[in-house]
A and B are shown apart, each in its own frame.
Chain A
């Protein structure tokens, strides 16, 4: 951490800062400039907040040099983390494609969609049973009944299941059913939920908040990792900008930036990041070309009648065409699409 003193700071004020640094068990490096004095705090500074110094008298600016996250950082874990999902390892050579409807609407709908996406090349099934809808009057999801349908779809297809968790109170029931807990964009900074999920040993798909910076996303991942759950996948799903031509703006830069900063796998969600079926395939290809480890795509057998997100849901035929195109990009990137092999092997679930 670099502490830049005001031009008129007194020697006593500089001494007070130095004493504070030493009190934290850190080493001090002092550089006396013409206009300002700069004090470096050297050591384990990850967990120290800049405001410990910002409040001291004579301090102008405090700048972090090291990243404020550690477990998520590539500096401390240079190799890519591999997270097992069904038969494949997300984060390795294989590209995972998670597909399914926005919401589980009925038993027949999810089973039909599961079979269709599997045939088209999906490696996991998504489907929401607790839905964080903008309006409290919209369909809120089927709850545990929906989880049973998802589990049945998994038995029939072998696809592992990804479902969103919205609240701490759902943890116990969700971990009994799902292979991956999805944390939605609106909950990216629901810290109690993150801590509770960190205590489980179920894999997590952590979505970036609508207005969250990349650093904030990584700090949220750190909450889960700090609890001992190291199976975290990050998901870019578009950010809020001034542009209204699309539902969100895909921050494609986030893909190479995250791959540079963290060892965790990075997934892109072109359905939410564009909000429109016409753009999903193009952005899916772009994601893989930029280095993403997987995709999560909304697919519905009858988008016009979907209870939610119909406008951004692909039909199974369109999805199959997208998978083919993504496969070609994966190949030139020296990667390949993950495929589901044989029977579903239940993962060890529950509390560690």
Chain B
């Protein structure tokens, strides 16, 4: 940490800052400039609040040198984190694809989509049962009933299931059903929820908040990891900007930036980051070309009649095409898709329901 003093600040103020630094068990290093004095605080400054130093008399500004997060940082964990999920790994050479509807609407809907995405090459099934909808009057999800359908879909297809958790009170019940907890963009800084999910040992797909910086995102992931839940996947899902041609702006820079700053796997969600099925495939390819470890995509067998996110949902056929293209890009960057036990390109089976 570098503490920059006001020009001409008296010796007592400088001594006071040094005393504070030493109280925090850090050593101080003083640089006397012509106009200003700079005091370096050397040591493990991760847990030292910048605010304490900022409030001391005579201090102009305080600059962090080390990152404010530790467990998520690549500085402290050089190797990529690779986790095993049911049937595949994430963070290594394999690029898994998670697909499914925005919301679980009915038993037949999720069973049909699960079968279709599996045949097209998906490695995990997504589907919301508690929906954080912008409007309180919009469909809010099927709740536990939806989880039972998800479990049935997993039994039929073998795909592990990824479901969003919205509240601390849902954790105990959901843990029994899901393979991966999704934490949505709107809950990225719901710190109570993060702490509670950090206490579980269920892997987490953690979405970046729509107006969160990369640093805030990593700080929030630190909440999960510090609870002992180390299996955290980060997900770029687009940020809010002035551009209105797309629902969000895919921060593609976040992919190589995160890969540099953290050892955690990074996933791209082109469905939310574009908001338009016409652009999903191009951005999925871009994500993997930029170094993403996985892709999460919304797929619906009948997007025009989807209860939510129909505009950005791919049909199983366009999803199958996207998978083929993403496969080629993965191979061009020396990665590969998860080896599927099923032959690709079969006609989806209709499920009676």
Contact = CB atoms under 8 A, between A and B. Distances in A.
A332 B329 contact: yes
Given A253-B274, A283-B290, A288-B289, A241 B252 contact: no
Interface in B313-353: 328-329, 331-333
Given A244-B213, A253-B273, A286 B245 contact: no
Contact of A249 (B249, B279, B289): B249
B205 to A, nearest CB: 21
A256 B280 CA distance: 9
Interface stretch (A104-112, A153-161, A273-281): A273-281
A243 B214 contact: yes
Given A279-B256, A282-B255, A286-B289, A249 B332 contact: no
B289 A257 contact: no
A213 B245 contact: yes
Interface string B269-295: 000011000110011011111110000
A332 B332 contact: yes
Contacts of B251: 241, 243, 249-250
Which range holds the interface residue count of chain A?
A: 35 or more
A283 B239 contact: no
Contact of A283 (B215, B238, B252, B333): B252
Interface string B111-152: 000000000000000000000000000000000000000000
Interface in A252-273: 252-257, 260, 273
B60 to A, nearest CB: 20
Contacts of B254: 243, 245
Nearest to B245: A214
A245 B282 contact: no
B241 interface: yes
A255 B282 contact: yes
Contacts of A257: 245-246, 279
Contacts of B287: 286
A227 interface: no
Tell me what chain B mostly uses at the interface: helix, strand, loop, or mixed: helix
B290 A286 contact: yes
5 contacts: A241-B239, A243-B239, A256-B279, A278-B256, A283-B252
Contact of A250 (B242, B252, B329): B252
B244 interface: yes
A114 B137 CA distance: 61
Return the 7 tightest CB-CB contacts between A and B, nearest first.
Answer: A289-B289, A286-B286, A282-B256, A289-B285, A286-B290, A256-B282, A252-B252
A110 B124 CA distance: 52
Contacts of B239: 241-243, 249
A243 B249 CA distance: 12
B243 interface: yes
